[in-house]
Amino acid sequence: MMKLVSGAYRPPKAEGIFFGQAFDRVIDQVLAEHPGQRSFVLVSKSIRTQTNDLRRLEEKLGSRLVGVFDGVTAHTPREAVFAAAQAAKSAQAEVLITLGGGSQTDAGKIVQLCLSNDIDSIKAMDRLIAVSGKPAAGLRAPKARMIALPTTLSAGEFTAYAGMTNSETGIKESVQHPYAVPSHVILDPALTLATPMPLWLSSGVRAIDHAVEGYLSIHAQPFSQAADLQAMRLLPRALLRSYRDPSDLQARFDCQIGMWLSMVGSQSGVSKGASHAIGHLLGSWAKIPHGITSCITLANVLRFNSVINGAAQVEVAKALGADDGDAAGYIEKLVLDLDLPSRLGHYGIRADQLPELARLCMHDRWIPTNPRNIPTAESLLPLLERML
């Protein structure tokens, strides 16, 4: 008798996603759905100093704005998140608004939980850390919910978990709570125009990684796989159009929709594999930009896993646009065509550093869920060596 696929899809605890509209035209409507109005903004330093987007947001918020914080840097260090939380607490924030990429989004999600759980020191943030892929025990839901205005394709605004880097260990720590997901997301393609092209394009490859590893997940669901396939159809083509014409708002909009679709599985807890696991450490330990990690890992992990899921990878290849059925080869060419780095050597990683990297990767929650078993750090080394 055929074994039925079983599972449960749990929709995210979000209130609304607004797309294809200028953020300053809908922010009043979004804020009207929040019980409080005292708005605290987390923004990247580059957006604050190099664009007028924060000024437009400040003008729209008017007296509702109670503070702005621009101290969260790449990979979301614990210390920066705590500083943001203290600033938001001092401002008596009732709403958090993030304007920027994945680091701002992750910080905002964690700040919500710091505020609702009386986190009064960097050490106390230990209480937020997820255990065995589940939220820490006893976490209280956020009272000050979050509105996300993303400027990249990192896609963290669609999930209920976030990552922050422990500066002492170099490990990316996971924080989770069902209500950590932003209550509202505004996808305004014009907000992405000032994003540096390498960051924009590489975060798009990261979104492709979400879709590919989600589709091939050992916990894949029919609903999430349908969204993954559409994300794979949209993203490569739209990224190439965006690369050729950075002013093409339709291409940027298609990228945003593809990014959103790529996260449907993650919203319901569909696990990822080694590309994400290794990518976490390449970011926190090696300080490689978040999106670039997927440019380095995804094609190599696909080849590594092909002995297990080769037939499913043919379906991935078709969705991406590869007529020859070679998903890994297509990803390699796409990264090359987008003029993005694809080797660890580009960032000075040496062969003698790989054993330590392998050891650290084994602590990531998505090594055990990789489609091909990776039982030890030694068994991971050959895969890492392909990435040099």
Please identify every stretch of the chain with a pLDDT value under 50, giving residue numbers as ranges: none
According to DSSP, the β-strands at 172-176 and 161-165 are antiparallel
9 occurs within a structural domain: no
CATH number at residue 69: 3.40.50.1970
Asked if 187 and 216 sit in the same domain, the reply is: no
Asked if 111 and 32 sit in the same domain, the reply is: yes
Model pLDDT, residue 3: 76
Asked if 88 and 120 sit in the same domain, the reply is: yes
Q: Facing residues of 129 across strands?
A: 175
Give the whole-angstrom CA distance, residue 354 versus residue 248.
Answer: 40
DSSP summary character for residue 134: B
Asked if 261 and 315 sit in the same domain, the reply is: yes
Question: Tokens for 217?
Answer: 């997940």
Model pLDDT, residue 75: 86
> How many domains would you assign to the chain?
2
Contact 113, 180 (CB under 8 A): yes
345 occurs within a structural domain: yes
User: How many helices and strands (H and E) does the chain possess?
Assistant: 14, 8
Mean pLDDT, the chain, integer: 96
Q: What is the pLDDT of residues 208-227, one digit of tens each?
A: 999 999 999 999 999 999 99
Cβ neighbours around 311 below 10 Å, total: 9
Domain that holds residue 288: 196-386
Q: Is 318 left (phi over 0), alpha (psi -120 to 50) or beta?
A: alpha
Give the whole-angstrom CA distance, residue 150 versus residue 185.
Answer: 8
Residue that finishes a domain, picked among 191, 213, 245: 191
Amino acid at position 150, single letter? P
1 occurs within a structural domain: no
302 occurs within a structural domain: yes
105 occurs within a structural domain: yes
Asked if 258 and 382 sit in the same domain, the reply is: yes
Contact 85, 111 (CB under 8 A): yes
Q: What is the pTM of this model?
A: 0.94
Asked if 358 and 224 sit in the same domain, the reply is: yes
DSSP summary character for residue 363: T
Biggest CA-to-CA distance, the chain: 65
Asked if 281 and 310 sit in the same domain, the reply is: yes
Asked if 375 and 240 sit in the same domain, the reply is: yes
Asked if 138 and 201 sit in the same domain, the reply is: no
Q: What is the pLDDT of residues 132-174, one digit of tens each?
A: 778 999 999 999 999 999 999 999 999 999 999 998 888 889 9
Model pLDDT, residue 1: 60
10 occurs within a structural domain: no
Contact 80, 132 (CB under 8 A): no
- Cβ-count burial 261-288 (b if 16+ within 10 Å, e if not): bbbbbbbbbbbbbbbbbbbbbbbbbbeb
Q: Is 62 left (phi over 0), alpha (psi -120 to 50) or beta?
A: left
Asked if 244 and 303 sit in the same domain, the reply is: yes
Residue that finishes a domain, picked among 191, 223, 239: 191
Amino acid at position 221, single letter? Q
Q: Burial of 96 by CB count in 10 Å (0-12 exposed, 13-18 middle, 19+ buried)?
A: buried
Asked if 378 and 339 sit in the same domain, the reply is: yes
Q: What size, in residues, is the chain? A: 388
Tokens 């490990």 — which residue?
171
Asked if 74 and 223 sit in the same domain, the reply is: no
Give the whole-angstrom CA distance, residue 86 versus residue 115.
Answer: 8
CATH number at residue 225: 1.20.1090.10
Give the whole-angstrom CA distance, residue 81 versus residue 73.
Answer: 9
- Phi and psi angles of residue 184, each rounded to the nearest 5 degrees, phi first: -140, 145
Residue that finishes a domain, picked among 191, 206, 234: 191
3 occurs within a structural domain: no
Contact 248, 241 (CB under 8 A): yes
127 occurs within a structural domain: yes
Question: Tokens for 232?
Answer: 């794979």
